[in-house]
Amino acid sequence: MSRPTPHPALRRLDILVGEWDMWAAGRSAGPFRVEFTWQEGGAFLVQRADVTPETSLPGPWADHAPFPTVSLTGYDDTADQFTILYADGRGVSRVYYGSMADRTWCQWRSAPGFHQRLTVTVSPDGTTMEGQWEQSADGDRWTTDFDVVFERRGKPQS
């Protein structure tokens, strides 16, 4: 059986492919192991995240850690945006939307009472990503939920 032909816009996500250590909340939580891999011949990007033996889960993280997590990202060519299906170890399942421009990945969802968005920027050398998750009750007034820093394990994919 042949594989689907990936939409060219998915190549914008090549910069994410590889293994990363992620830290959160001012580096008080982590490292979490994160891996981005292409599936179905590049038609979907899969992100998996989990704790490691070295992971620190302070305070509220210990009670509400979502790990393991998995996200499947595809591209909607009619909307010119990415669609992300997310599921985690708590049984949470969500749909996010995303964009990648100028080395900045944005991911968001709108839900009554709990809007979320993530913005991370990949460094020029492709070895780090830094940003933050934000939340809003109404979609207008946003507060930082927690910051994130990703450090690449090994060399960036070429």
Give the residues across from 101 on adjacent strands: 104
Task: Output DSSP code: residue 10.
Answer: G
d(CA 32, CA 23): 7
The CA distances from residue 11 to 7, 94, 105, in Å, are 8, 24, 13
Q: What one-letter code names the amino acid at 135?
A: Q
Q: Tell me which residue of 47, 50, 40 sits closest to 18, measured CA to CA.
A: 47
pLDDT in tens, the chain (158 residues): 777 888 999 999 999 999 999 999 989 999 999 999 999 999 999 999 999 888 888 887 788 889 999 999 999 999 999 999 999 999 999 999 999 999 999 999 999 999 999 999 999 999 999 999 999 999 999 999 999 999 999 877 65
Q: Which two tokens stand for residue 76?
A: 């909607």
Helices (H), 19-153: 59-64
d(CA 55, CA 32): 6
26 CA to centre of own chain: 18
